[in-house]
Amino acid sequence: MRRRQFLGFVGAGAMTPFAAQAQQSGLVAKIGFLYPGPAAVAKLRSVPLLEGLASGGLREPDQITLLTRATGGDAGQITPLLNELLASRVDLLMPSGPAVTSIVHAATKDVPVVTFDLESDPVESGWLQSYAHPGGNLTGVFSDFPDFASKWLELLREIVPGLSRLAVLWDPATPTVQARAVTAAAQDLNLKTVIVELKPPSEFAEAFDAVSAQRPDGLLLLSSPVVSVNSPKLAELALQHRLPAISLFSSFARAGGLISYGPNLDDIYRETGIMAAKVLKGTKPADLPAERPTRFELLINASTAKSLGLKISDTFQVRADEVIE
């Protein structure tokens, strides 16, 4: 069962230069999509993004062209690729993830930006004045951490009897807002937490050795583009270390991780596409409220639970969107 719902907003704003010119001359909008992972994954993400743009009335190749650039996981490539897109005179930028969004925001206040970022607090970061009134050239879809963090912990505690000590893998390339939210939620639930930095993929094994050394009852992998792209390897390591683990990404549970709980990524990319279409049609980012996903998918890997000696209650299975056998 898929449950999909986003808060939808239509802002009021003057026509952008592109929108006004396009209606008169049939110009094709150039959109720069900058992704912080492999090109193959960027191509997959561009599919729902283009679906959202089409839903908003803008289709390739007649009305838009998507210029996709992928860093391959190398943060040093963000600025050169961004400069390449800006040199192409894109009409709109669509960065993905906190590192890319931060650099894009610092680089331009003229080009409209619609971003996808599940790891940052955009108000705390100074990107938005508020969710309802962004106030600048940037808007997009962001996560909501306090309630979300509590749900992660409640789900893991429900399936892991006696959960009292939790290891938390955190990517230091992402902001600290997630780790702070989880720490606060854990205190409310009387759980002890230890934060372990997530190393680059070449050092994942060392990171999991550090986690195991803490002798935790469970593991939470905080959201990160690195976790999203490398979910299969991370799930494999969690199994090897016999760690009941939960992640935001459904690909983690499908690859053998115990639980995933988070928004459907295709839905979010589709929604950013819809927002981008509104901006290209004339709504200013300053007037287009940022959005947060309001529906989430719960997946449980029954095979992994069995191998870890954990019992999945009937009520838990009924609540799950998918039980992976």
Q: pLDDT at position 145, please?
A: 65
Task: Tell whether domain 145-262+297-324 is in CATH 3.30.360.10.
Answer: no
Q: Residue 25 above 90 pLDDT?
A: no
Distances (CA, A) of 324 to 121, 195, 218, 240, 255: 32, 29, 20, 19, 10
pLDDT grade for 11, boundaries at 50, 70 and 90:
very low
* Segment 89-120, tens digit of pLDDT: 999 999 999 999 999 999 999 999 999 999 99
* Chain-centre distance for alpha carbon 199: 19
CB 183 within 8 A of CB 293: no
Given a cut of 50, whether residue 183 has pLDDT beyond it is yes
Instruction: Please give the share of the chain, as a percent, with pLDDT higher than 70.
Output: 91
Q: What is the pLDDT of residue 97?
A: 95
Residue 143 pLDDT: 86
CA dihedral 238, 240, 243, 246 (to 10 degrees): 20
pLDDT value of position 199: 86
pLDDT tens digits for range 233-280: 999 999 999 999 999 999 999 999 999 999 999 999 999 999 999 999
What's the pLDDT score for residue 33?
A: 98
pLDDT band at 5 (very low <50, low <70, confident <90, very high): very low
At 232, list the tokens.
């299969």
**Mean pLDDT, range 284-296, rounded to an integer:** 93
Distances (CA, A) of 134 to 123, 220, 280, 284, 288: 9, 31, 17, 10, 7
Q: Do the domains 17-143+264-287 and 145-262+297-324 sit in the same CATH topology, yes or no? A: yes
Strand partners, 92: 31
- Has residue 172 got a pLDDT over 80? yes
Share of the chain above pLDDT 90, in %: 87
Residue 42 identity (one-letter amino acid): A
Q: How confident is the model at residue 147 (pLDDT cuts 50, 70, 90)?
A: confident
Distance CA 275, CA 244 (A): 37
Domain ranges of the chain: 17-143+264-287, 145-262+297-324
Other CB atoms within 10 A of residue 242 CB: 10
CATH number of 17-143+264-287: 3.40.50.2300
Residue 13's pLDDT is what?
36
